[in-house]
Amino acid sequence: MTTLRVQFFGRPSDIFGPGMDIDIPAAGVPLSELRRLLVQSEPEASAVFERYGVRAAVDAEISAEDVLVRPGQTVEFFSMFSGG
């Protein structure tokens, strides 16, 4: 297992704070599995992820749930923003 640093913006940061370290296998995990691990650590995150349409970016690129996340990459979860 290796540690991955995950950052949070918007509503997810209300639950997790600005960032946290999470253990993942050295070979990596799909983004969907990382999301599941986060919800497992903080069950209230499930409602926030669904209600606010939380998206994820891997290395600054919005990514699909099947993208493989590996140690050393930058992963960010954020709720959709509005403004003008």
So where are the chain's domains? 2-78
The Cα 81–Cα 26 span in angstroms is 33
May I ask the CATH architecture of the domain 2-78? Roll (3.10)
Tokens representing 8 are: 């949070």
- The residue with greater pLDDT, 53 or 78, is 78
Confidence class of residue 84 from pLDDT cuts 50, 70 and 90? very low
Is 73:5 a contact under the CB 8 Å cutoff? Answer: no
Q: Is the predicted pLDDT of residue 62 greater than 50, yes or no?
A: yes
Q: What pTM value is reported for the model?
A: 0.89
